[in-house]
Amino acid sequence: MVTLVAACTGEEPEPPDSPSTALRVATVHGDGLDERARARFESEVSDVVARYVEAGFLGGYPRDDFVQGFEDFTSGAAEQAVGDLEVLTAARFENASSVRATDLGAALSFYVVDGEALGATAWIDFAFDVDDGESTTTAALDGRLVLERRNERWSVFAYDVRRDDSDALPVEATTP
Amino acid sequence: MSHALRALRTALQLLPIALVLVVLVPGSAVQPTTLTLTKVTTAEGYDAGSDVVWVLVLGEDSVHDTDAIQLLGIDARTGAAAGIGIPRDSWVDLGGGEMGKINQAYGEDADAERVSEVVRELVGITADYVLATAGDGFVSMVDALGGVTVVSSQAFVTDDRNMQVDKGPNEFTGDEALDFAMTRDAFPDVPGDFVRSENHQALLLGLLKQLQRQDGDRGFVELMALSALEGLDTDASPVDLYRLLNVLTGVDPDQVEGCIVVGREDVDARGNQIIVPDDELAERLGREAAADATFESGCEPR
C-alpha cells in the first residue's frame, strides 16, 4: 500500500519545511503538454516513484522483501535490478530498527508526442535516516529512473543511480 | 544472503581501506582516531526488450539508394555493442531470385521488411527495428546533438566539399559529417565501399559518445528522441524509439566492435562495379554476435 504523499509543485523542487516522507515532484521539461495533461502525467509518474520508495526503502523493519520495490519495473529491468538490490533499495539495512525518508525529490522530463507523454526521466534525489537502535546514520540515492508509458501504464525500463552511504558505514581506525 | 555472510563480506571489502587508513594516520597511541569511510556505489540497468536488440541503420541518398547499411546489436545486460557493416555494392538476392545491389532493397517504397529480409539472408539476424535517414534528417540530428567528433582511420579529402579530414579526431557539423559519410572516391587503393562502411561505423561511434556526453543533462534524451522521431523513417514506435535511445546511453564505448562484410570485387552484366560478399564471413559475424553482441573470432575472413 502506498503511504507516501506525492506533492507536485510544477516548478523546481522546493526544500521541505521539515523532515517528512512527502515526495516532492516537479516537471522541469514538459513541452507539448497542456496544464491538465501535465498534472495528470506528473501524478501518474509520482505514484510509480512513490511506490518504489515505499517498497524499496520504507515500511516496517526488520524486513527482507525489498524486491517489491521493482513491482513497476519492466521484467528485463527488474531482473537486472535484483542484481543491484543493495544499491537500489535499503536491503543492506535489513536489520535496522527503522528507515525514514528525510528528503525525497524528483524532477521530471517528459517525452511528449502529439500532446501525450510516452516516456519520462525521473531525476531523483533521496535521503534517508537509518536507525539501528543505537544510533542514526544517513543514506542517499540520486540519479535517474527512466519510464515508458504503454497501454496507459507507466513502467521503469532503465535506471542509472548513485548511492552514498558514507554516514551509514562508520569505521574506527585506532592508531597504534 | 544471510546477515552474517553479508557482514563478513562488507568487513572484508573494507579491510584494505581500514588498513591503509591505520598506516597513513600518524600519531601516538594516546587518542584513538575515528574516521568515516566514503561508501559510494553506482548501478545502471537497461531493458532493451530482448537480450540483444538489433537495429538496421540505413542512410539514403537522393534517389533512395541506401549507401549506408549498418546492422547494430546492443546487449543491454553487458553494455556491449556490435556493428556489422554491409557495403552498398554487395551483390545479393533481393527476393525471388532477383539479384542486385543491396542498396536497392529499401527503395522509393521504403520497404523496411524487404531490406530486413535481405540482411537476414546474408548474416542470419533479423533486425528488431529499421531506422532510415536521408540527408536533411541526418544533418538535423547531428546538429541537435551539437556536432560530432569522429576518429578517422586515415587522412583524406572528401568528395563533395573537398574538406580535409585528418587521421584521428575530427570535429564535424551535421553537413560535414554527411560529407565524411558519403565520400568513397578518395580511397583508390582499396574498394571504396569497405573504407566508407568503416567510416560509417566511426561516425556512429562518435554519435554514441556525443549522446553519452550529454545524457546527464535534464531533458536532453527527451529532446533527442523527438529529433530522431522527426529525422528518421522507422518501423519503431515512438515509445520503442525512446527506449532504444535510452538503451544507447548505457552502451560502453570500450565494448563497441565493428566488422565489415568484405568480399570480392566484380562487375555485373552491365559492367557496374559490385562486391560479391564473403558469405561465410557474413554468416560467422552474425552467428557470433547474435548471442552477446561480440565477435569472438574477430573481423577477418578465414
ipTM summary value: 0.87
pLDDT digits (tens, 9 = 90+) for A118-168: 999 999 999 999 999 999 999 999 999 999 999 999 999 999 999 999 776
Contact flag B222-A162 (C-beta cutoff 8 Å) = no
User: How far is residue A6's CA from residue A20's CA, in Å, rounded to a whole number?
Assistant: 11
> How high does pLDDT run on average in chain B?
88
Nearest CA to A127 among A24, A46, A45, A8?
Answer: A24
Nearest CA to A103 among A129, A133, A136?
Answer: A129
Nearest CA to B243 among B272, B217, B221?
Answer: B221
Q: Which one of A80, A113, A176 has the shortest CB-CB distance to B29?
A: A176
In chain B, which residues have their Cβ closer than 8 Å to the Cβ of A172? 32, 34-35
Q: The dihedral of CA A15, A16, A19, A20: what is its sign?
A: negative
Residue A5 has pLDDT above 60, yes or no: no
Contact flag A87-B43 (C-beta cutoff 8 Å) = yes
User: How far is residue B236's CA from residue B239's CA, in Å, rounded to a whole number?
Assistant: 8
pLDDT for position A109: 98
B 74-93 residues inside an 8 A Cβ radius of A: 76-77
Residue A20 has pLDDT above 60, yes or no: no
Which chain B residue has its CA at the smallest distance from A144's CA?
Answer: B216
pLDDT digits (tens, 9 = 90+) for B161-208: 999 999 999 999 999 999 999 998 898 777 768 999 999 999 999 999
Residue B6 has pLDDT above 70, yes or no: no
pTM attached to this predicted model: 0.86
User: How far is residue B241's CA from residue B131's CA, in Å, rounded to a whole number?
Assistant: 10
Rounded to whole angstroms, the maximal C-alpha distance in chain B is: 94
In chain A, which residues have their Cβ closer than 8 Å to the Cβ of B25? 173, 175
Contact flag A173-B46 (C-beta cutoff 8 Å) = no
Which residue segments constitute the domains of chain A, with CATH numbers given? 3-174 (3.10.450)
Contact flag B39-A168 (C-beta cutoff 8 Å) = yes
Residue A171 has pLDDT above 70, yes or no: no
Residue B59 has pLDDT above 70, yes or no: yes
Distance from CA of B73 to the nearest CA of A (A): 17
Asked if the bond preceding B26 is cis, omega within 30° of 0, the reply is no
Contact flag A162-B37 (C-beta cutoff 8 Å) = no
